[in-house]
Amino acid sequence: MSHTKLDEGKEFFGELAKKFIKASDFSVSENLQMKRDHSLRVAANCLYLAKALELEPEDQHIIELIGLLHDVGRFVQFEKYKHFDDTTSEDHAELSIQLISEQEFFLKMEEEERKLITEVIAGHNKFSFSSKEKKVMLFAQILRDADKMDNWELAVSLLKRDGTFSLPTISYNLPKMGLASDAVLKSLIAEKPVLKKDLQSLADFKLFLMSLVYDLNFKASFVWVTDRQLIKKIYDTMTKGDKVIDAYRKIRLHIENRLTEK
Ligand SMILES: [Fe+2]
């Protein structure tokens, strides 16, 4: 993808975010601004990973654009439903694709590029993703890592001293009270990502965030999250029962193993 096309995509994103934010009242606009800033950082994370993986400049442009556009459906979703829970609204990846598909800059692209962008965005929020096409798979892995990297960074930046988040919509408005659920702990003991449907409290949400390391693909992503100590910062705000301590120990070991990989 040419630099000009990337710039056209950036212009579309900038205008779209501005339009949605301008048209909404404060409680909505702070959520939309959060998603705009998330998208900008995911795009930057995609570029960081693309460079670490030594992709060609043309491919770096595509993955950067995918990172920027992957969540545009969130604007539509939040404006309509006032929350970010796909299970009780709509699949926000599908909303992103619908919105992008109507845009002139997108329609001008070659079919192969459109297909790549569509498939990678469609797969970004699914519990797991696989594709037989090598390029789709690689780009999806980059986007999924880049998205997780920012979910951790965003969560840590919104953490308050009392262990709650200053924007409750990021933790799906889950209640503060309650210890970790059995189903959540079970996933962690099995070293698997926690399922969103199992979340019942803020403690579950934090464990869910931490468990995402089990679905992280690249060494460069592990380096990134370790440098920022993001998993530790989330863990530090938790009430520590034996099972939570155990789960964290396993997570740390997993990270260490991946960091020592060649
Ligand atoms: Fe998303």
C-alpha 26 to ligand 1 mean position (Å): 22
Other CB atoms within 10 A of residue 235 CB: 20
Q: Which residues surround ligand 1, an ion (CB under 5 A)?
A: 71, 125
Residue 124 has phi, psi (to 5 degrees) of: -70, -25
Residue 165 has phi, psi (to 5 degrees) of: -105, 140
C-alpha 181 to ligand 1 mean position (Å): 25
How are the residues of the chain apportioned to helix, strand and coil, as percentages rounded to the nearest 5? 70, 0, 30
Report mean pLDDT in 10-residue bins for the chain, 262 residues.
92 96 89 96 98 97 98 95 91 97 95 97 92 96 98 96 91 89 96 95 97 97 98 95 95 97 83
What is the reported pTM? 0.94
* C-alpha distances out from residue 8 to 57, 174, 177, 250, Å: 17, 38, 46, 44
The residues spanned by each domain of the chain are 3-148, 176-259
Closest CA to 69 of 108, 106, 29, 111: 106
Topology of the domain covering 3-148: Hypothetical protein af1432 (1.10.3210)
Q: Looking at residue 185, what is its pLDDT?
A: 96
C-alpha 259 to ligand 1 mean position (Å): 26
C-alpha 86 to ligand 1 mean position (Å): 10
C-alpha 240 to ligand 1 mean position (Å): 30
C-alpha 56 to ligand 1 mean position (Å): 25
Residue 16 has phi, psi (to 5 degrees) of: -60, -50
DSSP string of 168-230, one letter each residue: GGGGTT--S-----HHHHHHHHTT-PPPGGG--SHHHHHHHHHHGGGG---HHHHHHHHHTTH
C-alpha 102 to ligand 1 mean position (Å): 19
Q: Looking at residue 231, what is its pLDDT?
A: 98
C-alpha 241 to ligand 1 mean position (Å): 31
Other CB atoms within 10 A of residue 45 CB: 25
Beta-bridge mates of residue 159: 165
C-alpha 143 to ligand 1 mean position (Å): 10
Q: Looking at residue 146, what is its pLDDT?
A: 98
Structure tokens at 151: 């979910």
pLDDT tens track for 65-90: 999 999 999 999 999 999 888 989 99
Cβ neighbours of residue 222 closer than 8 Å, sequence gap 6 or more: 213, 216, 255, 258, 259
C-alpha 231 to ligand 1 mean position (Å): 20
Q: Looking at residue 177, what is its pLDDT?
A: 85
Angle at alpha carbon of residue 256, lines to 250 and 259, rounded to 5°: 145
Q: Looking at residue 127, what is its pLDDT?
A: 87
